A and B are shown apart, each in its own frame.
Chain A
């Protein structure tokens, strides 16, 4: 109508332009860009985890070794806390005010809307009065969880303990989240994946204040918690407890294995501790155990590598028999203490046969045996390699546990390269490395390897991988037996009898008469006295019984126990008697008492 009426198109165009800009922007925000959807999910989604009960552990006779008991975490939501009687709360939960103040400060720093733990793992006896008074403390809540309990108080290092995950655990396995628990050592660690079960995760929607508003996605992506699997161990709780009694106030280890199955009946490391000390509110006890110079947390049975001493001699004889450098009638002369290059520490007839050599642990006999193996080949290096190969076939110098992934020591069987480096290539021979003839020098074995090696002798040429767990539950909670490999030694079965006869003689014909407790059961054994440059010699004894169809193979290693016959042999024999007859004959009870009373940790007590 008027001359500016055309301007309506410019104005409409302007409206449409803004509309188009909004359209493009909305298309970008809603259709092209996906990050906003992710942000939105992060905004509303909260994972709430339900923790399943950890699997239980039984001994071979289904005696309960580890179970779970209830414990409670006191949590607080800072926003909801109103002024309260701090002293009263401190008295109920038994903490001091500084601890409470610090915990509340941390909780506030973490979140004002989310719950933070204030006191962890409150035992039921403290929980009961707390529950009654909780209404006086608004903003405080109790979260139930479970903690480990050990009714038998035995096998602390074998069972291991559970602790909060570390950052490196979380980095390695995304299953774990901060605040979760994980097996830190022993079987708890080795069977972590079976024992832990599977956490259940429920997804909830929350509002801006983190208040739960409902289930997410109708629970379609929620997962239910799966109970931890129970485990039957191979331990014999009674024998374990008895071994720990005999080993009290001593330093060392005992390992007993059932030769036919490779099942570990007993594994003791002393000094030990009550496993219940590491449960619940960990604090002073854990620090004390960590600081203890006797290292009670350390499982000597698998981690301590000691020289085997004379207990190694049967291997040298077996190798020589296999290599044909001696036979069961071969004799060597012994000049007693005047023998070279290694003197004999015992007094016996000469020349000595194989049987007598073992019985008397005659150093010259085994030097000659060892030399014969090394010198069978043109070069010492070649002979040594053959010898080493045979030694390794007994499971020495390597990790043998199919279960423990860490914490087990491989011991040491020196390599050719080691001597080449040490002496120079071609500049060493049997004489140079003669200590190996009597189980000294660079050789190191763990008590676990020692027991396994005895088990191979008892089986006349093979062992089953030594293990601590017999069966684990499957998904339907049925126990399923685990299978372990059978490993043959490189020595033919027929050569063992001569050695075993010698080991029988050790028990029956020497001063070790005390170990032969029953005429009906034949024990075969070998003592060892390991030179210790740091103090009194170590006392070692290996044995198996009965001679035919053996039921138990055992290794006892006692640090600073002086002679093999003094502590190690009697303790081994008592354990064999206890295991095979379920009691100690009255004749041997004074011996038993003497072993229990012996205190090798007290420096004032005469050895």
Chain B
């Protein structure tokens, strides 16, 4: 008995409070999003808000059960749990129900289960277990390959389910590895590659190269702190472009703007290279190199995309990135979502007074686009409050992870924080038009049992580990 009391005393009540508040706000917003005049009772089991109430109660039961489980269970069974979910991922490919083109769900009667939701948790456990190994060295090639294996197997299986959104979540483990000593360059280039890739396909290469150029000049200024030098560089680039633009005009437009831009990039590159070489400013080579590499990457992505890929493959990628995601016209979902959030104003329209979400203008308003209801009914204030709560939880989790004595708990803690962060960033980013439309839920907010329970499990396993941080866990 004394031990149990000890667990409840050591558990982090700040995180639990934040978790409960977020879940409650989510529930209220689901109520408002699908509010039905004829079913005013928030506990009406025929409506989504009634069902969500059950999921919430179940989530609390799950949370309590996890807290009361021996923390060593998760360490001991990290690999078996991982193996079990991999098995589930494989079997869902054969026995799963086909929902909206993705074979990601088990259907047992009216109950559905999405194994990929639990895979994040299992992968986090396996990763934590592997990294906490005494033999683990992140610089070690074999270790890196093993980590890659642990992460990529579920990613591959989820890709096969046609659930690309969930698969992309696993990219966030890079952040965890960074904390465990992965070279920052890897993180930087991964991020850069992802950004350039998305920009190239969403904004086309021309705009991407201009953005890259602007970013390089900003980086240059930040490093050198000399306005004159950066200004000269911008003038050289702009002047070259203007010169060739005029020349092109005089010659009767033989070149496309893209050609002029590439000529400009090429000439500027040579000019800057010579000046860097003369002044022996070694750290500027990096900027120039990254810029040149990015331009080449942009061009090759564009080339592969437009010249090599078949139209249906292009469509698939465009759909993935939300460039062409719906039958009602390009960007319909995002546009309606922005209208809903934008119409909320500073103070919002008030509880149940939102029109855009309630009247179905926003699709998926209780699941992926639940944040629209927050934005519309609670305005800028409410939106910032929710984002603030999430950030508070994330920062709390990072701090909790840092106070762990065992590597296992720390790695797992970072995994939890980063997974939650990825969901938050992509989900909200998508509703305000900053991220591609990838159908992933907002943790603790979006309607649905699977996602709520998996996030609850994910979070509370860490809180359980944290509660016994003074015990000797690693063996």
Chain A interface residues toward B at CB < 8 A: 1, 3-5, 7-8, 10-12, 14-16, 18-19, 21-23, 25-27, 29-31, 33, 35-37, 39-41, 43-44, 205-209, 213
Query: Nearest Cβ distance between residue A151 and chain B, in whole angstroms?
Result: 48
Q: Which residue of A lies closest to B354 (CB)?
A: A40
B63 at the interface (CB under 8 A from A): no
Please determine whether B338 and A36 come into contact, CB atoms closer than 8 angstroms.
Answer: yes
Q: How far is the CA of A177 from the CA of B375 in the complex (A)?
A: 35
Residue with the greatest number of chain B CB neighbours at <10 A, chosen from A4, A26, A41 = A26
Besides A11-B398, A30-B346, A43-B336, 13 new A-B residue pairs in contact (Cβ under 8 A), listed by A number: A11-B179, A11-B417, A12-B394, A19-B388, A21-B434, A25-B433, A26-B380, A31-B345, A37-B343, A40-B339, A40-B343, A40-B355, A207-B361
Please determine whether A36 and B342 come into contact, CB atoms closer than 8 angstroms.
Answer: yes
Query: Nearest Cβ distance between residue B331 and chain A, in whole angstroms?
Result: 13
B384 at the interface (CB under 8 A from A): yes
Interface class of chain B by DSSP? helix
List B contacts of A27 (CB < 8 A). 380
List B contacts of A22 (CB < 8 A). 387, 428-429, 432, 434
Please determine whether B338 and A15 come into contact, CB atoms closer than 8 angstroms.
Answer: no
Q: Which 4 residue pairs of A and B lie closest in terms of their CB atoms, listed nearest first?
A: A36-B342, A40-B343, A207-B359, A208-B360
Q: How far is the CA of A8 from the CA of B402 in the complex (A)?
A: 8
Q: List 13 A-B contacts (CB under 8 A).
A: A8-B179, A11-B179, A11-B398, A15-B395, A18-B429, A22-B387, A23-B384, A23-B387, A26-B383, A30-B345, A33-B342, A40-B356, A207-B359
B167 at the interface (CB under 8 A from A): no
List A contacts of B432 (CB < 8 A). 22, 25-26, 29
B175-193 at interface with A (beta carbon < 8 Å)? 175, 178-181
Residue with the greatest number of chain B CB neighbours at <10 A, chosen from A14, A35, A40, A209 = A40
B20 at the interface (CB under 8 A from A): no
List B contacts of A39 (CB < 8 A). 339, 342-343
Q: Out of B339, B358, B394, B417, which one reaches A36, CB within 8 Å?
A: B339
Please determine whether B398 and A40 come into contact, CB atoms closer than 8 angstroms.
Answer: no
List A contacts of B434 (CB < 8 A). 21-22, 25
B425 at the interface (CB under 8 A from A): yes
List A contacts of B344 (CB < 8 A). 30
List A contacts of B408 (CB < 8 A). none
Please determine whether B391 and A208 come into contact, CB atoms closer than 8 angstroms.
Answer: no
Q: How far is the CA of A3 from the CA of B432 in the complex (A)?
A: 38
With A5-B402, A25-B434 in contact, is A213–B359 under 8 Å at CB?
Answer: yes
Q: How far is the CA of A7 from the CA of B339 in the complex (A)?
A: 38
B142-171 at interface with A (beta carbon < 8 Å)? none
B341 at the interface (CB under 8 A from A): yes
Query: Nearest Cβ distance between residue B29 and chain A, in whole angstroms?
Result: 16
Please determine whether A207 and B421 come into contact, CB atoms closer than 8 angstroms.
Answer: no
B416 at the interface (CB under 8 A from A): no
List B contacts of A33 (CB < 8 A). 342
B342-374 at interface with A (beta carbon < 8 Å)? 342-346, 355-356, 358-361
Please determine whether A40 and B340 come into contact, CB atoms closer than 8 angstroms.
Answer: yes
Query: Nearest Cβ distance between residue A207 and chain B, in whole angstroms?
Result: 4
Please determine whether A208 and B359 come into contact, CB atoms closer than 8 angstroms.
Answer: yes
With A29-B432, A31-B345, A31-B346 in contact, is A43–B356 under 8 Å at CB?
Answer: yes
Q: Out of A14, A30, A206, A207, which one reaches B375, CB within 8 Å?
A: A30
List B contacts of A206 (CB < 8 A). 359
Q: How far is the CA of A206 from the CA of B383 in the complex (A)?
A: 26
Please determine whether B341 and A30 come into contact, CB atoms closer than 8 angstroms.
Answer: yes
Q: Out of B342, B391, B417, which one reaches A16, CB within 8 Å?
A: B391
Q: How far is the CA of A26 from the CA of B431 in the complex (A)?
A: 10
With A30-B344, A207-B360 in contact, is A43–B355 under 8 Å at CB?
Answer: yes
Q: How far is the CA of A48 from the CA of B24 in the complex (A)?
A: 39
Interface class of chain A by DSSP? helix
Please determine whether A15 and B391 come into contact, CB atoms closer than 8 angstroms.
Answer: yes
Q: Which residue of B lies closest to A26 (CB)?
A: B383
Q: How far is the CA of A23 from the CA of B421 in the complex (A)?
A: 15
Please determine whether B342 and A29 come into contact, CB atoms closer than 8 angstroms.
Answer: yes
B439 at the interface (CB under 8 A from A): no
Please determine whether A40 and B342 come into contact, CB atoms closer than 8 angstroms.
Answer: yes
Q: How far is the CA of A250 from the CA of B472 in the complex (A)?
A: 119
B379 at the interface (CB under 8 A from A): yes
What does the 1/0 interface line of B387-413 toward A look like (CB < 8 Å)? 110010011001101100000000000
Q: Which residue of B lies closest to A41 (CB)?
A: B343
List A contacts of B417 (CB < 8 A). 11
What does the 1/0 interface line of B112-132 toward A look like (CB < 8 Å)? 000000000000000000000
What does the 1/0 interface line of B420-438 toward A look like (CB < 8 Å)? 0100110011001110000
Q: How far is the CA of A43 from the CA of B337 in the complex (A)?
A: 12
Q: How far is the CA of A8 from the CA of B418 in the complex (A)?
A: 12
Q: How far is the CA of A33 from the CA of B343 in the complex (A)?
A: 9
Please determine whether B178 and A11 come into contact, CB atoms closer than 8 angstroms.
Answer: yes
Q: Which residue of B lies closest to A209 (CB)?
A: B360
Query: Nearest Cβ distance between residue A8 and chain B, in whole angstroms?
Result: 5
Q: How far is the CA of A381 from the CA of B338 in the complex (A)?
A: 77
Query: Nearest Cβ distance between residue B39 and chain A, in whole angstroms?
Result: 15
Q: How far is the CA of A98 from the CA of B39 in the complex (A)?
A: 46
List A contacts of B379 (CB < 8 A). 30
Q: Which residue of A lies closest to B344 (CB)?
A: A30
Q: Out of A4, A31, A37, which one reaches B380, CB within 8 Å?
A: A31
List A contacts of B424 (CB < 8 A). 18
List B contacts of A36 (CB < 8 A). 338-339, 341-343
Please determine whether B356 and A44 come into contact, CB atoms closer than 8 angstroms.
Answer: yes
Query: Nearest Cβ distance between residue B442 and chain A, in whole angstroms?
Result: 12
Query: Nearest Cβ distance between residue A476 and chain B, in whole angstroms?
Result: 39
List B contacts of A29 (CB < 8 A). 338, 341-342, 375, 432
Q: Which residue of A lies closest to B391 (CB)?
A: A19
Please determine whether B345 and A37 come into contact, CB atoms closer than 8 angstroms.
Answer: yes
Please determine whether A7 and B178 come into contact, CB atoms closer than 8 angstroms.
Answer: yes
List A contacts of B179 (CB < 8 A). 4, 7-8, 11
Query: Nearest Cβ distance between residue A539 and chain B, in whole angstroms?
Result: 71
Query: Nearest Cβ distance between residue B342 and chain A, in whole angstroms?
Result: 3
List A contacts of B428 (CB < 8 A). 22
Please determine whether B355 and A205 come into contact, CB atoms closer than 8 angstroms.
Answer: yes
Query: Nearest Cβ distance between residue B471 and chain A, in whole angstroms?
Result: 17
With A12-B395, A40-B340, A40-B342 in contact, is A26–B360 under 8 Å at CB?
Answer: no
Q: How far is the CA of A87 from the CA of B341 in the complex (A)?
A: 50
List B contacts of A207 (CB < 8 A). 358-361
With A18-B425, A30-B346 in contact, is A8–B398 under 8 Å at CB?
Answer: yes
Residue with the greatest number of chain B CB neighbours at <10 A, chosen from A3, A10, A14, A15 = A15
Q: Which residue of A lies closest to B341 (CB)?
A: A29
Q: How far is the CA of A420 from the CA of B336 in the complex (A)?
A: 71
Q: How far is the CA of A15 from the CA of B392 in the complex (A)?
A: 10
Q: Which residue of B lies closest to A5 (CB)?
A: B402
Query: Nearest Cβ distance between residue B38 and chain A, in whole angstroms?
Result: 12
List A contacts of B394 (CB < 8 A). 12, 15
Residue with the greatest number of chain B CB neighbours at <10 A, chosen from A7, A16, A21 = A7
List B contacts of A11 (CB < 8 A). 175, 178-179, 398, 414, 417-418
B51-106 at interface with A (beta carbon < 8 Å)? none
Q: How far is the CA of A15 from the CA of B398 in the complex (A)?
A: 10
Q: How far is the CA of A16 from the CA of B417 in the complex (A)?
A: 13
Query: Nearest Cβ distance between residue A221 and chain B, in whole angstroms?
Result: 15
List A contacts of B425 (CB < 8 A). 18
Q: How far is the CA of A164 from the CA of B360 in the complex (A)?
A: 35
Q: How far is the CA of A5 from the CA of B336 in the complex (A)?
A: 43
Please determine whether B181 and A4 come into contact, CB atoms closer than 8 angstroms.
Answer: yes
List A contacts of B401 (CB < 8 A). 8
List A contacts of B387 (CB < 8 A). 19, 22-23, 26
Q: Which residue of B lies closest to A38 (CB)?
A: B343
Please determine whether B355 and A44 come into contact, CB atoms closer than 8 angstroms.
Answer: yes
List B contacts of A41 (CB < 8 A). 343
List A contacts of B180 (CB < 8 A). 4
Please determine whether B361 and A15 come into contact, CB atoms closer than 8 angstroms.
Answer: no
B279-329 at interface with A (beta carbon < 8 Å)? none
Query: Nearest Cβ distance between residue A33 and chain B, in whole angstroms?
Result: 6
